[in-house]
Amino acid sequence: MSMEAAAPSTADRALRVRPATAEALRPYGELLGPDWPRSSHIADFYEGAVSVHQPPSFVSDDDTCLSLATVQPRPLEIDYIERHFKHTQTFIPLGGKPFVAVLGAPTEGEMPDLDRLEAFRFDGGAALCLHLGTWHEFPFALEADTQLLVILRNETTRNLASDNVVDGEAHGGDLDKKNLIKRTGGRIRVEL
């Protein structure tokens, strides 16, 4: 993608939220939930009472960690957008509370294609496993105390440390977090 195609705009933008379905999420990641394929390569020790499935495209390494995020409702405005190069970050809702995720397809350039960002509403019954390089904002809670298990790399957490933040952005080996307001002069709002 050329830099011209990803050139920032100073105009405010609005994104309409659409339902998170496996088909709609295909460019960004996988929906992991009750409708996920039922094939398993694990022996059936429990006569069908337990089935274990593994996402076929999960990527990380021994620096992987599991975090619990408790998210409160906040304005549905995108201030930041980020991507990861070494792991397929995964958000697993606990308690069935809905959330909204803003996603952009991976790009070669410095910025996502802002005209192609999409917003999705998750009902709280399925998880999201992002593809490598998928642009995203941290999920927006629609209800108080929404809890998400987050699978990520410890390196990402280190990249987000306050001593690594410069001019409102954080960068590192696994993180490219951009301040959209600073870079574009505009704001992207999500409309439910």
State the sign of the Cα–Cα–Cα–Cα dihedral 104, 105, 111, 113. negative
Predicted local confidence at residue 28, as pLDDT: 93
Within a domain: 72: yes
> What pLDDT does 140 receive?
95
Q: Is residue 97 part of a domain?
A: yes
What pLDDT does residue 35 have?
A: 62
Domain-located, residue 1:
no
CB 60 within 8 A of CB 87: yes
Residue 9 falls inside a structural domain = no
Within a domain: 126: yes
Residues 12, 20: Cα–Cα separation, whole Å: 24
Tokens of 117: 């960002």
User: Does the residue 50 lie in any domain?
Assistant: no
108 in a domain, yes or no? yes
Q: What is the pLDDT along the chain (192 residues), one digit of tens a residue?
A: 344 444 455 578 899 999 998 899 989 988 877 666 555 555 666 666 655 565 556 778 888 988 889 999 999 999 999 999 999 999 999 999 999 999 999 999 999 999 999 999 999 999 999 999 999 999 999 999 999 999 999 999 889 888 889 998 999 999 999 999 999 998 899 999
Total structural domains in the chain? 1
Of 97, 75, 86, 88, nearest to 147 (Cα)? Answer: 97
109 close to 2: Cβ distance less than 8 angstroms: yes
Q: What's the rounded Cα separation, in Å, for the pair 129 and 30?
A: 5
Q: Is residue 14 part of a domain?
A: no
Could you list the residue range(s) of the whole structural domain that residue 130 is in? Answer: 19-34+55-191
Q: Which run of H or E residues covers position 107?
A: none
CATH number at residue 136: 2.60.120.480
- Among 149, 147, 177, 151, smallest CA distance to 72 is for 147
Identify the pLDDT of residue 39.
Answer: 56
* CA–CA distance, 33 with 21 (Å, rounded to integer): 10
d(CA 104, CA 137): 9
DSSP at 139: P
